[in-house]
Amino acid sequence: MGKDSTNILEVKNIEVVYDNVILALHNVSLTVPRGKIVALLGANGAGKSTTLKSISTMLASERGKVTKGSIDYEGNAVKDQTPSEMVKLGMVQVLEGRRCFGHLTVEENIIAGAYSRKLSRGDLNQELEKIYSYFKRLKERRKSQAGYTSGGEQQMVAVARAMMTKPKMLLLDEPSMGLAPQLVAEIFNIVKMLNEKEGVSILLAEQNTNIALKNSDYGYILETGKIMLEGSAKNLLGNDKVKELYLGISKGKRLNFRDAIKDNENKNK
């Protein structure tokens, strides 16, 4: 696969095991077409973070291992690279829970994102201004200590910091976590803008199915380490099972996901 291929990321049948015993992912495959936003949906513990970490190679630091399958990013097999090597290749992950450098200022946090790039002072300032044009709120708070900013601002810092690495591929882990709906909307707007204007491809792990699908092109639904459903964002939003289980729009009796799948299989028989 060359660099000109239409998919920036191809994950094929991966299996992930933690501590050599705990099976976290089973046979997960997904692709991210270049320049698109793909959502990875599912409940707590479904394996969304694990999937992202196995792609960004952050998994090794949690004693997790990809034991089967393959991950191809830009035609490179992702295997033994370190996260900082992946960043140099243009892939960056925004970790779950924001993880700002609390004692650094907002601006220092963002500048830290440029650590792997060799930028002159002038170029750095230019890059900063560009980042601030997306994250206007952060410009006002640039001198504040990041630990004392609001949750929404911290999430923005985390995304802005990742954008400073000049990524081609952004892995976003639950940007909506713990934030008010208005802020979630604001952050998703920025993410969408980054995708359109900077051309960055995005793989987005979310529990907030509704807002994630409304802002993406394609979606996968993970449950207990397996992909249960996939489709274009539009189809998934209209899908009865998704509506029932993830969007909370119920018709008639309540079903859990497994029953819904079973029902579906029975109907197809």
- Binding residues for another protein (CB under 8 A): 56, 58, 61-63, 82-84, 86-88, 92-95, 99-104, 108-109, 111-113, 115-116, 145, 147-148, 151, 158, 161-162, 164-165
Structural tokens at position 128: 């900063």
What's the rounded Cα separation, in Å, for the pair 225 and 113? 31
The smaller minimum CB distance to another protein, of residues 70 and 145, is found at: 145
Q: Report which residue type is found at 239.
A: N
Q: How far is the CB of 84 from another protein (least distance, A)?
A: 4
Shortest CB 92 distance to another protein, Å:
6
Please identify, using beta-carbon distances, which residue of 163 and 213 lies nearer to another protein. 163
Nearer to another protein among residue 165 and residue 215 (C-beta): 165
Report strand pairing: 218-223 vs 37-41: parallel
At its nearest, how many Å lie between another protein and the CB of residue 56?
Answer: 7
CB of 253 to another protein, least distance (A): 40
Pairing of strands 218-223, 226-232: antiparallel
Give the residue with the Cβ less far from another protein, 107 or 230: 107
Q: Is the torsion defined by CA of 260, 262, 263, 267 positive or negative?
A: positive
Query: Which two structure tokens, joined as six digits, stand for 4?
Result: 């000109």
To which residue do tokens 């450098």 refer?
Answer: 101
Nearer to another protein, 102 or 238 (CB): 102
Q: How far is the CB of 162 from another protein (least distance, A)?
A: 6
Nearer to another protein, 27 or 61 (CB): 61
Q: Which of 187, 222, 233 is nearest to 38 (CA)?
A: 233
Measured between its terminal Cα atoms, the distance across the chain in Å is 39
Q: How far is the CB of 65 from another protein (least distance, A)?
A: 13
Q: Is 19 left (phi over 0), alpha (psi -120 to 50) or beta?
A: left
> Which CB, 92 or 222, lies closer to another protein?
92
The beta strands (E) that lie in the chain are given as 7-18, 22-33, 37-41, 64-73, 76-77, 91-94, 169-173, 201-206, 218-223, 226-232
CB of 11 to another protein, least distance (A): 19
DSSP tag of 105 = B
Q: Which is nearer to another protein, 116 or 256 (CB)?
A: 116
CB of residue 145 vs another protein: minimum separation in angstroms? 8
d(CA 233, CA 209): 10
- Is the CB of residue 64 less than 8 Å from the CB of residue 54? yes
